[in-house]
């Protein structure tokens, strides 16, 4: 029974993302989500009693997925976490499906959803700082990537693809310096 519940829960979370991608997060309805997930509305409400509970689970799922992927892409060597963060970001940046939009929808639904997001970013930042020899370079990498992500979420991308590629290449060089304690060239 527990495996079935988990399976239904995952199907529902995938359905939320699919409905949002197709119709926009502002147009999410429990009926549309249940239909896309292949569950009854009662089954949806059993797993997520309120829309707020569903959005909270979406935020938690997004954070857990990112942390898992980051751990899978880093290999435990000093400085590897920052480099893995840049590689993972770069690989996901141009994906058409932006799960981060779900975070914006959840925050709009309930501003308290910012608390786990802030806690996640604090954990991430602390892990990156512990991993890098050069805190300044690591902070620059973190802020640039989060700035790019924010621009994407707000549909305010102003950099061309070539400019973004140039930035990502520069960040990769900066992460190498951060990992080995060398200050960036001025």
- pLDDT, one tens digit per residue, over 115-172 is 888 899 999 999 988 888 888 888 999 999 999 988 887 778 899 989 999 999 999 8
User: Higher pLDDT residue, 5 or 83?
Assistant: 83
pLDDT of residue 103: 62
Q: How far apart are CA 138 and CA 125, in angstroms?
A: 9
> What's the pLDDT band for 45 if we cut at 50, 70, 90?
very high
pLDDT of residue 102: 60
Q: Which CATH number fits domain 1-49: 3.30.540.10, 1.10.10.60, 3.40.50.720, 3.40.50.300?
A: 1.10.10.60
Evaluate whether the domain defined by 51-179 bears CATH number 2.160.20: no
Give the position of tokens 């310096």.
177
pLDDT of residue 76: 66
Mean pLDDT of 38-65: 88
pLDDT of residue 1: 45
Closest to 47 in 3D by CA, of 21, 18, 20, 11: 11
Is the torsion defined by CA of 33, 35, 41, 45 positive or negative?
Answer: negative
User: Higher pLDDT residue, 47 or 109?
Assistant: 47
Mean pLDDT of 173-179: 75
Is there a shared CATH topology between the 1-49 domain and the 51-179 domain?
Answer: no
Q: Where are the domains of the chain?
A: 1-49, 51-179
Q: Are 171 and 139 in contact (CB under 8 A)?
A: no
Q: How far apart are CA 78 and CA 70, in angstroms?
A: 14
Neighbours of 81 (CB within 10 A): 24
Tell if the pTM clears 0.85, that is, is over it. no
Q: Are 162 and 122 in contact (CB under 8 A)?
A: no
Q: How far apart are CA 74 and CA 112, in angstroms?
A: 31
Closest to 88 in 3D by CA, of 101, 75, 70, 102: 70
pLDDT of residue 43: 92
Q: How far apart are CA 178 and CA 53, in angstroms?
A: 40
Residues near 67 by beta carbon (within 8 Å), at least 6 away in sequence: 120, 124
Give the pair of three-digit tokens for residue 24. 């926009």
117-126: pLDDT as tens digits: 889 999 999 9
56-103: pLDDT as tens digits: 888 888 888 888 988 888 876 666 888 888 888 888 777 655 555 566
Q: How far apart are CA 37 and CA 19, in angstroms?
A: 10
């Amino acid at each position: 029974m527990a495996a079935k519940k988990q399976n239904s829960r995952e199907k529902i979370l995938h359905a939320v993302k699919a409905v949002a991608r197709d119709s926009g997060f502002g147009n999410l309805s429990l009926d549309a989500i249940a239909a896309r997930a292949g569950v009854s509305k009662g089954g949806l409400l059993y797993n997520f009693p309120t829309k707020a509970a569903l959005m909270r689970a979406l935020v938690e799922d997004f954070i857990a997925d990112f942390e898992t992927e980051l751990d899978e892409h880093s290999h435990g060597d000093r400085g590897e976490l920052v480099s893995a963060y840049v590689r993972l970001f770069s690989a996901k940046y141009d994906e058409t499906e932006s799960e981060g939009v779900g975070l914006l929808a959840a925050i709009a639904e309930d501003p308290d959803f910012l608390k786990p997001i802030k806690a996640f970013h604090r954990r991430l930042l602390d892990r990156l700082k512990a991993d890098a020899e050069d805190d300044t370079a690591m902070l620059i990498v973190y802020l640039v990537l989060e700035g790019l992500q924010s621009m994407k979420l707000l549909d305010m991308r102003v950099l061309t693809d070539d400019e973004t590629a140039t930035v990502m290449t520069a960040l990769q060089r900066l992460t190498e310096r951060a990992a080995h304690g060398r200050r960036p060239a001025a």
